[in-house]
Structure 1
């Protein structure tokens, strides 16, 4: 009998969760009432889905999408070692508890096997947004000096957030 009572609540939660990317799920879990020390146990899928839905509704979908885009870009910049102090401050203000964010991200990754991820969520997850000043100023490239004795010898490095694949713009040529 209890399973019959909870079954109608599972479908709307699953629909909401499926519409979220992995990063959006992490942000939703971060904003939810999930205990930071929570440890996943078998058959906790419904509870995790409920926390994701709770966090998503608490934050609101537009802000959830933005926060996930900021998180994705910051993690890429941090991994590349090119995050600026502005970006680090903005990230710390948005996610003050690093332990909670790690736990939420870990559990969000786990939910990808439990709940499908919609095509719209996958497409949305690849849109970078940088909070704070970026070294590339939005161009996708910035100059790096590898030799401090020769400051004029610079190389271009691709921005992990604005140009993660490192593609150079192709020059247009006119043939006559």
Structure 2
């Protein structure tokens, strides 16, 4: 007698290709993987880094991986502009509580782009960023500044400013 196989229990796992992940998705995957907290650059083979990336991506799932990557890049852009909202900083620290591990994951993810170039789809998403809990610009591209003598009343948002600049150059309305 042949065993009965229930198709309800059969699932297919999506194959994770490192090339199809953005740099920030790779970083989030590495952080979630079994990657050691410290290792010297060049002391680990690319195949091992790739295995950690795949492991972390599978562990998080596509949706959570993407969410962490987009918020992480938004956080980085806001840090560079010295405009990180308190709520976004707190969320970032909850998501990535070990700064040293995050730094290691960022460096390994950046290095992975040498031997695993970003695919066209990953490259198209690579600059996607959001600020968790809402951006100070409200998505308009401009952050209001406190009034100071000889200072502008707004600055370009590090996360949404590119889109505002593009709209301005095209002669479209830009909200401040």
Partner of 1:133: 134
Q: Which residues of structure 2 form unaligned runs of 5+?
A: 1-13
Q: CA deviation at 1:41?
A: 3.0
Partner of 2:159: 161
8 Å CA contact 1:66, 1:129 repeated in 2:
no
**Alpha carbons of structure 1 residues 39 and 137: separation in structure 2 relative to 1, 3 Å:** same
2 CA distance for matches of 1:37 and 1:163?
Answer: 36
**Alpha carbons of structure 1 residues 55 and 172: separation in structure 2 relative to 1, 3 Å:** closer
Partner of 2:73: 72
Are residues 1:106 and 2:107 paired? yes
Q: Matched residue pairs, number? A: 158
Partner of 1:92: 93
**1:25-64 pair list within 5 angstroms:** 25-41=26-42, 44-64=45-65
What is the TM-score with the length of structure 2 in the denominator?
0.80
**Alpha carbons of structure 1 residues 78 and 172: separation in structure 2 relative to 1, 3 Å:** closer
What is the TM-score with the length of structure 1 in the denominator?
0.80
Structure 1 ranges of 4+ moved more than 4 A: 170-173
Partner of 1:7: none
SS state at 2:153 partner: strand
8 Å CA contact 1:30, 1:101 repeated in 2:
yes
Partner of 1:5: none
1 CA distance for matches of 2:111 and 2:171?
Answer: 43
Aligned-CA RMSD value = 2.5
